[in-house]
Amino acid sequence: MPKYVIVGACAAGVGAVEAIREVDPVGDITVISEETCPTYSRPMISDYVSGKAALSKMKTRDDQFWQKNTVQALTGKKAVRLNTSERTIALDTGDQVSYEKLLIATGGKPFIPKMEGTDKDGVFTFTTYSDAERLAAKIDAIHAQKVVVIGAGLIGISVTEALVKRCIAVTLVELQEKILSLLLDPKASEIVENAVRNEGVNIVTGQSVQRIVGKPANEGVVGGVVLTKGEQIPCDLVIIAIGVVPRTDLVVGTEVKTNRGIVVDSSMRTNLPDVYAGGDVAEAYDFILNQNRLLPLWPLAVLEGKIAGYNMAGKKTDYAGGTNMSTLKYFGIPIVSIGLANPKEDPALEILVKHDAENNVYKKLVLKDNVVVGMTFLNDIERAGIFFHLMKNRINVKKFKQDLLADNFGLASLPESLRKKMNLSE
């Protein structure tokens, strides 16, 4: 009987368990997870801090998930050493687990820049439920009134909104000239920036935090930050939300090949025959850039885990790939951004833009050789998925290009041949 071992119980780990069980109902599955709480949604932890959701609402699978899938879940344990020739994993408890097929789904860890003061009491990162729990408890305990958030990406914006909902004064510091610069072009970013400012957030762009300083009465406790240009901003807490880096520690010193993350092929297999990787730790395929890269996004992690699971269980499946694709729900502006949404100037790219200032609707499409390779929709996003379909299937839009940004553009605007392919009507 095959023996599957999965390190990590987050998105990719859960996806893999489900896929393995689809193919192999009886093989032994062991999951090793440092976290003890049930499988929950990491992108949603800001809703815990804002008070909108309890852990029960954030659970992505029910509490019997491990039992239902007959998984041996080793929770609260850390995989510390991988021996690929013996096919064993050593745990921090001293135990050893042997595998026939291994999935490394260890995820990412917050990137903490080298600067003075990150060890002070009151400095947080924000990627796990326990981060959220500790942050919420700290806010209550010290009645935090001022917080500095470093980094205005997805995580930074999400935690900023949660803090605003708790009536905390936030200063959001972003090194780039614009917030959400990996997802939005300057115009879209400006629209969001205005909405964030309207909620009272102090946004500082083009600067970073040089060091975190202590309170005059107690140097060990956060009292403020000093920005690159020297300005000091007093605060009670600092949240570092600059990004995540792959947690590759487990494969360091082994034969498993890494670049920035673990290198995998289209079956999510590493360079070793029985070792797979998926999720934030792996460099999976980007169908827009046509290359493998780090894409630390939840839905992609689930899919990558699923593909790995199928292949581990013997069902040959190729990963079609993902791309930089995100939705945002914060500050009252629904956003969908996919692919090359904010490309550098390039004569090969054609850009279609529509801005309806009255309704605060902004739509942008980026085309290359008549194929949509990037998009950003703000506020009017209901039909965004149709465009994602066009992107994923590299559909040539030349014939209906002029209709793409029309208000009533929808499935009926697609050519008949495509509608037939999509089985839309008889």
Partner 1 sequence: MVKRIIAKQEACMGCGLCEVYCTVQHSKSKDIVKAYNQETPRAISRVRLEMNKPVSFAIQCRHCEDAPCAQACLTGAMHRDEETGLVTHNKDKCMGCWTCVMVCPYGAIKIDKEGHIIAKCDQCNELDTPVCVANCPNGALQCKEVKP
Q: Of the two residues 58 and 149, which places its CB atom closer to partner 1 in the complex? A: 58
Q: How many CA atoms lie within 13 A of 386 on its CB side?
A: 18
Candidate ranges 100-108, 172-180, 191-199, 381-389; the one touching partner 1 (CB under 8 A): 381-389
Q: Of the two residues 6 and 148, which places its CB atom closer to partner 1 in the complex? A: 6
Report the alpha-carbon distance of residue 175 to residue 345 in Å, rounded.
21
If one asks whether residue 388 binds partner 1 (CB under 8 A), the answer comes out as: yes
Q: How many CA atoms lie within 13 A of 193 on its CB side?
A: 20
CB of 384 vs partner 1, minimal distance in Å? 6
Q: Of the two residues 195 and 263, which places its CB atom closer to partner 1 in the complex? A: 195
Per-residue binder mask for partner 1 (CB under 8 A), 31-60, x = binder:
----------x-xx--x----xx---xxxx
Contact between 155 and 180 (Cβ < 8 Å): no
User: Angle at CA 352, nearest 5°, toward 347 and 353?
Assistant: 125
CB of 238 vs partner 1, minimal distance in Å? 26
If one asks whether residue 149 binds partner 1 (CB under 8 A), the answer comes out as: no
If one asks whether residue 417 binds partner 1 (CB under 8 A), the answer comes out as: no
CB of 335 vs partner 1, minimal distance in Å? 8
Interacting residue with partner 1 among 233, 383, 401, 405 (CB under 8 A): 383
Candidate ranges 173-181, 197-205, 230-238, 380-388; the one touching partner 1 (CB under 8 A): 380-388
If one asks whether residue 389 binds partner 1 (CB under 8 A), the answer comes out as: yes
If one asks whether residue 69 binds partner 1 (CB under 8 A), the answer comes out as: no
CB of 247 vs partner 1, minimal distance in Å? 21
Candidate ranges 101-109, 144-152, 209-217, 382-390; the one touching partner 1 (CB under 8 A): 382-390
Candidate ranges 138-146, 264-272, 360-368, 406-414; the one touching partner 1 (CB under 8 A): 406-414
If one asks whether residue 25 binds partner 1 (CB under 8 A), the answer comes out as: no
Residues of span 271-300 touching partner 1 by CB under 8 A: 298-299
Q: Of the two residues 2 and 299, which places its CB atom closer to partner 1 in the complex? A: 299
Q: Residue 295 phi/psi, 5° resolution?
A: -140, 80
Q: Of the two residues 84 and 128, which places its CB atom closer to partner 1 in the complex? A: 128
If one asks whether residue 214 binds partner 1 (CB under 8 A), the answer comes out as: no
Interacting residue with partner 1 among 23, 35, 55, 61 (CB under 8 A): 61
Report the alpha-carbon distance of residue 205 to residue 366 in Å, rounded.
26
CB of 389 vs partner 1, minimal distance in Å? 4
If one asks whether residue 334 binds partner 1 (CB under 8 A), the answer comes out as: yes
CB of 330 vs partner 1, minimal distance in Å? 10
- The neighbouring-strand residues paired with 5 are 30, 102
Residues of span 1-20 touching partner 1 by CB under 8 A: 15
Q: Of the two residues 172 and 333, which places its CB atom closer to partner 1 in the complex? A: 333
Residues of span 302-331 touching partner 1 by CB under 8 A: 302-303, 306, 325, 327-329
Report the alpha-carbon distance of residue 263 to residue 283 in Å, rounded.
6
Q: Of the two residues 63 and 116, which places its CB atom closer to partner 1 in the complex? A: 63
Interacting residue ranges for partner 1, rule: CB under 8 A: 15, 41, 43-44, 47, 52-53, 57-61, 298-299, 302-303, 306, 325, 327-329, 334-336, 338, 381-386, 388-389, 403, 408, 410-413, 422-426
